[in-house]
Amino acid sequence: MKILLIEDDSRIAYSLKEVLEDHRYVVEVAGDGQLGFELACMDCYDLILLDLMLPKLDGVTVCQRLRHNQDSTPILMLTAKDSSTDEVMGLDAGADDYVVKPFQMKALLARIRALLRRNATILPPVLTWEKLTLDPSKCEVYYNEQRLSLTPKEYSILELFLRQGDRVLSRRQIIEQLWTFEDTPGEETVKVHLRSLRRKLKLTGAPANFIETVYGLGYRLNPEI
């Protein structure tokens, strides 16, 4: 899941980014409203965390412009102002929810999960493929009841495949979904992560071609398994 965090306080932004990445989210950070709006228009995000008070463009304006552009990405507004007027302004501008700083991180994560569930197409809470199960709420993966110890990026790649079914994903598409602009790797990096992921799956008894290479196109979960 990819989140755009638009927050001008670098201390808060860094802390939030670190916690969210620990929970397997990919996080892009913008330090002002104008940059945040441009990034939201350029890329696809599963959720936008939007501060109300921002330089260049304030959060309400960013929200209004996105909704004017028919962007339905869930928006969770963040603000230091504990005012019902600010809450009404944010919600009237098109925000889906509202959190007042300082907030409890557990509460914020719960709000994020709720918005992602609300916006998602109907998906089972536990993702499965053949003997593989992935539980997003616990960040746990099992194959044939054996737990896999995955790196955050391996976990994210596997979750992406599970959510796409047997759709073929190119290396570029994987990078766009799971890396941010500032740390975009070369396509060879995707091959390295997939090689390691396949090896760990094989050690638990999965077929070597559980993740299938579709030559010239990309990769997918093997529909023949």
| Domain end position, chosen among 61, 93, 119 | 119
Q: Of residues 142 and 180, which shows the higher confidence score?
A: 142
pLDDT at 1 over 90: no
DSSP 181: G
Where is the domain boundary, 91, 119, 147?
A: 119
The two structure tokens encoding residue 10: 């670098």
Q: What is the DSSP string of 3-21?
A: EEEE-S-HHHHHHHHHHHH
Question: Apex CA 114: angle with CA 89 and CA 95, to 5°?
Answer: 15
Kindly indicate the confidence band of residue 122, based on its pLDDT and cuts at 50, 70 and 90: very low
pLDDT higher than 60, residue 123: no
pLDDT for position 103 = 83
Alpha carbon distance, N-terminus to C-terminus of the chain: 26
Q: Are residues 19 and 68 in the same domain?
A: yes
Residues 103-132 have a mean pLDDT of: 81
Same domain, 84 and 139: no
111: CATH:
3.40.50.2300
105 and 189 belong to one structural domain: no
Q: Tell me, yes or no, whether 111 and 145 share the same domain.
A: no
Asked if residue 177 and residue 80 are part of one domain, the reply reads no
Which CATH number belongs to the domain containing residue 141 in this structure? Answer: 1.10.10.10
More confident position, 184 or 222 = 222
Same domain assignment for residues 39 and 78: yes
Q: Are residues 20 and 115 in the same domain?
A: yes
Q: pLDDT band for position 178 (50/70/90)?
A: confident
Work out how many domains the chain is built from and give that number.
Answer: 2
Per-residue confidence (pLDDT) for residue 85, from 0 to 100: 61
**pLDDT by residue (tens digit) across 67-113?**
988 888 999 998 876 655 666 676 778 889 888 888 888 889 988 98
Dihedral pair phi/psi, residue 163, rounded to 5° = -75, -20
From 86, 119, 152, give the residue that closes a domain.
119
Give yes or no: residues 114 and 167 share one domain: no
Give residue-wise pLDDT tens across range 41-62.
888 888 999 999 899 999 999 9
Structure token pair of residue 59? 């959060």
Mean pLDDT of the chain: 88
The model's pTM is 0.66
Query: 60 with 11, same domain?
Result: yes
Same domain, yes or no: 163 and 115? no
Say yes or no: 102 and 158 in one domain.
no
pLDDT at res. 87:
62
* Domain match, 88 and 150 both: no
Predicted pLDDT of residue 84: 57
Of all residues in the chain, what percent carry a pLDDT higher than 70? 92
- As a whole number, mean pLDDT of residues 117-123 equals 63
- Quote the CA–CA distance of 38 and 56 in Å, as a whole number: 12
Closest CA to 221 of 153, 142, 160: 160
Note down the domain range covering 159: 127-221
Cis peptide before 102 (omega within 30 of 0): yes
